[in-house]
Amino acid sequence: MSWDNIWRNKAQNQKPEANMTAIAKFGCDCDELCADTQICLTTGKCFVSLQKNTNGEIVERRGCLDGSSQTILVCKSGGHKEISVYCCQGNMCNANVSLTLASPSTPTPPPSNSGGNSTVAGYNIPILATSILGPFAALMCLVLICLCLFRHKHKQHMQKLSMVDPELAHRHPHELRAVPAGDSTLKDLFDHSCTSGSGSGLPFLVQRTVARQITLVEQVGKGRYGEVWRGQWQGESVAVKIFSSRDEKSWIRETEIYNTVLLRHDNILGFIASDMTSRNSCTQLWLITHYHPLGSLYDFLNRNILDPPLMCRLLLSASSGLVHLHTEIKCNRTKPAIAHRDIKTKNILVRDNLTCCIADLGLAVLHSEGSDTINVGSNHKVGTKRYMSPEMLDETMNMESFESFKRADVYAFGMVLWEVGRRCEIGGLCEEYKPPFYEYVPNDPSFEYMRKVVCVEKLRPTLHNRWCTDPTLTSLAKLMKECWYQTASARHSSLRVKKTLMKISECCSKTSKIVY
């Protein structure tokens, strides 16, 4: 069928009376095919077309399209080289439209008609704008919701941490309080805290004062808990233990235990303050303690060779700290008994006077004889595998008995006795430092590996022949074997270990010799 026949059939089928009665119809600009008027009515589309006839002349047609089949036939004809068609929907939308034969898809847009739909090349402008801007607006809303949830969660996190220190709850997270401390020294502040009846650390207000005036100088240690820095406070050195965010429970637990009344002891690491700061939505957890430049007993043994008196001095002071932890003190303000649960040379520090103090109470448990309750806390981490007792490795330990926790500490302390004794020089002989079970397990043994060695094969660290040639080492060897018995109930108590070490110390020389 020719293009002219399409227009002719359309004009013959046009029904003016239907055009006048259809309420939903709109007008289109028409050519001479529309009979007596230049406007036709339709519910379909308006069109403008250009076509070359047989004589090569370009003929322009305008009009209405009512039938769906007719609309598809005409509007889809714009792809031919000799025909250009523009279709639109809306009142008089084809008026003043200029076409070129080569580009039917980009006509000159008609004047806007308030009575018709806004369209561009057949697209509805509001729908097009909604489809483009809608997803972008939804994405922005999602980002804002996520930011609000993050801020809310961070606020709850800070409130939870503030429960450890009630004074923090009334302070803005970013507030830095720097109250002048005058000429007071840490010793003055500690003496005041003791006479005022407080616990191991300073009063909370003083803790804030000291903590906000500390300057970090150098990093001196790093472990699974975080980092240890040497800091300066009014010319005095302090140790700042900065916990990683994943070890938050250890910080909470250590803060809680260090603030226990009557915990202060020469052989327990001196606690100064606990602080929490928030910067750039990042929470920093600080534990501020006395600073001991000689480092841990582990470091000291790696660097130094001991003589018998110094060996006894180190071990006796460490055992004194363990006894103080294990002992419940009953007075006006009762100190509960405390089991350490991670005794090892890395958690024992060497003071300037060559005595030891026990540190790192993040895994400790508390027991009160009056209520007979064991406070394990919310930190479910375990200690160091090399120092774990057989009942801990084979999971037969009675967790309801506080005595079980103390016996596990004694087992670990037996390993410390072995480590220190190896570094004692007698008769010109001394062994190099090695960790417990070095001859049986790799550097980082698995839990199963240690269970096989300790529980199944029932092995213990080996003793060199020289341990049998000297009375001091012989007595020490007997003591350590009594500390690491397979059966927990057969082991000594920490108090019995201390008394035995006192007797061994009486047999040692009064002079000490350290080779650097």
Number of H-type helices and E-type strands within the chain: 14, 17
- Interaxial angle between packed helices 471-483 and 402-422, expressed in degrees from 0 to 180 and rounded to the nearest 10: 150
Separation between Cα atoms, residue 400 and residue 390, nearest integer Å = 17
- Interaxial angle between packed helices 308-326 and 471-483, expressed in degrees from 0 to 180 and rounded to the nearest 10: 30
Q: Which residues contact 82 (CB under 8 A, 6 or more apart)?
A: 51, 52, 101
Give the residue from 465, 494, 511, 466 showing the smallest Cα distance to 311.
511
Tokens 């289109």 belong to which residue? 28
- Sign for the pseudo-dihedral over CA of 432, 319, 203, 156: positive
Separation between Cα atoms, residue 399 and residue 391, nearest integer Å = 10
Q: Which residues contact 168 (CB under 8 A, 6 or more apart)?
A: 161, 162, 276
Q: Which helix (H) or strand (E) holds 421?
A: helix 402-422
Separation between Cα atoms, residue 241 and residue 229, nearest integer Å = 6
HSE on the CB side for 463, CA within 13 Å?
Answer: 21
Tokens 């230049």 belong to which residue? 38
Alpha-carbon radius of gyration of the chain? 44
HSE on the CB side for 357, CA within 13 Å?
Answer: 21
Tokens 């040639």 belong to which residue? 469
Tell me if 386 sits within 8 A of 414, measured CB to CB: no
Tell me if 402 sits within 8 A of 374, measured CB to CB: yes
Separation between Cα atoms, residue 135 and residue 313, nearest integer Å = 73
Q: How many CB atoms lie within 10 A of CB 430?
A: 17
Residues that are catalytic = 342
Q: Which two tokens stand for residue 388?
A: 């774990």
Q: Which residues contact 365 (CB under 8 A, 6 or more apart)?
A: 338, 339, 341, 374, 375, 376, 377, 402, 405
Q: Distance of CA 218 to CAs 20, 201, 209, Å?
A: 93, 24, 21
Helix (H, G, I), strand (E, B) or coil at 486: coil
Q: Which two tokens stand for residue 26?
A: 């709109």
Helix (H, G, I), strand (E, B) or coil at 482: helix
**Residue type, position 490, single letter:** A
